[in-house]
Structure 1
């Protein structure tokens, strides 16, 4: 089954291909001209016979120096069948569109990134007929953006950075910073970016942190993901006692954030948090849990 994080990795570039073009030289150290036009293309590469082949996302990027195809593949782990598929995609796209194809592989895994970056050589080892070299975006070359000012300069890159680095130790700090940045941009863009982050985080702990950070954001609750969360919350409330269940969940969330960040939770802290019945107070503690250095920091402003 295709995961939401897999889908987000390439769907994000369907919305934000302009960001990729802007950051092409910075991320890959490869020159690329400024785009005049960008268009979404059909991703189906199926032949009349017999095998269906489909890239994750396909874009046409027109520039003053030529027109290109951007093929995006989100890759969660090593797959020995993929290099053959990627070589096929590149050859078929060139034959079908007569445009230069550029293959991107997007991953949240360092090991997968190293594997995917290996050239695919076809033919003789010393004189290959073709060489396919995917451009791989992963934790090693996507900048780890933790500075708020830098994130404000390019919010879309900051969003992608947060998704790619969501498995790292600084995930909570990154998401906390990104939540503050989204408060500074227009609500429609903030809602879109918030939804991408919600869908793209592969870790449940990271999604829990993000949902907590978004709990009071009006723009977040305008998007379809949040609507589903609200309905889910309403259903849980009806089944478990509405407000009491939500308060207990918020208390447990606060403790889970601390534990996931590797911060020890003494018994007295756990008891105080679980005994609290003030929803507003628990919201404050949950927000502090994202960045405190010790569990007792929950209780000091």
Structure 2
């Protein structure tokens, strides 16, 4: 199953194709100035019943040297199968489009990055016929950006850097820098950054830190993520109000009642319970008639 970090690591190139040029200096790759970027179908399926897809495929136009194809693969862990599939992708695309092919692999941990950077050879040990050399972006070579001005200077690169450093011990400082850098940034620009970082963090502990920063530093911002955070805050507030009102009235709150209230994510149900908490004689009475009315 495709994970959110996997999607963020390659889809960011679809949203910010200019990253191709920005990464050239970071990764030590000399590219001519990029003048155009076009999305290309990621489906590499042949007529035989075998489906092959790359994560992201872009046709990059440059000044002077002509266009080339950029294959972006997001790699979350070592996968022996890539030893065969990556060379296939490159040779197939070169044969189909008759263009140079650059394979970029984006990782979030050092061991996977080191594994992905190894040349992949097809042929005899003493005479490789085909050699594929992936270009790797990961925590080993992406900048740790904790300077707000630096982040604002190149938000797409700073966003990818934050994603690749999701497991960095200083990730809290990285995320704080990003949230401050996005203040006063137009929502149309801030939106993709907020969502890509949220995806890239996955279910790591830092994901909650990012959610908190979005809720506080970017309170103006509206998106599926920010609305979800605010909804969670409203639900938590209502649940706390139900329990507080019961306690203030001297009603003994049973463990079962407390658990049901705190686990509830339905604001309408919490609203009903809050109203009932003002008059019930026992804590479990706030749930009366819930089953009979179909709620």
Give the corresponding residue for 1:104. Answer: 104
When residues 230 and 130 of structure 1 are mapped into structure 2, their CA distance, relative to the original with a 3 A threshold, is: same
Give, in whole Å, the separation in 2 of the partners of 1:153 and 1:241.
38
Preserved contact between residue 215 and residue 226 of structure 2 (Cα < 8 Å):
no
2-side partners of 1:36 and 1:78: how far apart? 34
Q: Which residue of 1 aligns with 2:28?
A: 29
Tell me whether 1:159 sits opposite 2:159 in the alignment. yes
Deviation at 1:53? 0.5
* Shift in alpha-carbon separation, 1:157–1:227, aligned structure 2, 3 A: same
1:77 aligns with 2:73: no
Aligned counterparts of 1:122 and 1:52: Cα–Cα separation in 2: 22
Deviations 1:123-176 (A, max 9, x none): 122321110000011000111111122112111111111111121110111111
Structure 1 residue aligned with 2:238, among 238, 242, 248?
A: 242
Classify the secondary structure of the residue corresponding to 2:114: helix
Contact 2:146 2:177 in 1 (8 A): yes
Cα distance in 2 for residues equivalent to 1:172 and 1:118: 31
Partner of 1:215, secondary structure, is helix
Q: How many Å apart are 1:242 and its aligned residue?
A: 1.8
User: What is aligned with 1:39?
Assistant: 38
Match of 1:186 in 2: 186
Q: What is the distance in 1 between the residues matched to 2:11 and 2:3?
A: 12
Deviations along 1:32-54, whole A, 9 cap, x unmatched?
01111101110000001021100
RMSD across aligned C-alpha pairs, in angstroms?
Answer: 2.1
- Whether the 8 Å CA contact 1:190–1:219 is kept in 2: the answer is no
Computing the radius of gyration from Cα coordinates, the structure with the larger value is 2
Q: Which gives a bigger RCO, structure 1 or 2 (Cα 8 Å, sep 6+)? A: 2
Instruction: Between 35-44 and 186-195, report the one with greater CA deviation.
Output: 186-195
Gaps of 5+ in 1: 249-301
Q: C-alpha separation between the residues in 2 aligned to 1:11 and 1:199?
A: 10
Q: TM-score, structure 1 length as denominator?
A: 0.75
Cα distance between partner residues in 2 of 1:178 and 1:28: 21
Contact 1:87 1:132 in 2 (8 A): yes
1:144 is paired with a residue whose SS is coil
| Structure 2: tracts of 5 or more residues without a match | 245-295
Normalised by the length of structure 2, the TM-score is: 0.77
Aligned match of 1:53 = 52
Partner of 2:215: 215
Determine whether 1:199 maps to 2:199.
yes
Aligned counterparts of 1:71 and 1:175: Cα–Cα separation in 2: 28
CA distance in 2, matches of 1:20, 1:115: 22
Aligned to 1:89: 89
CA–CA separation in structure 2 for the residues paired with 1:228 and 1:73: 29
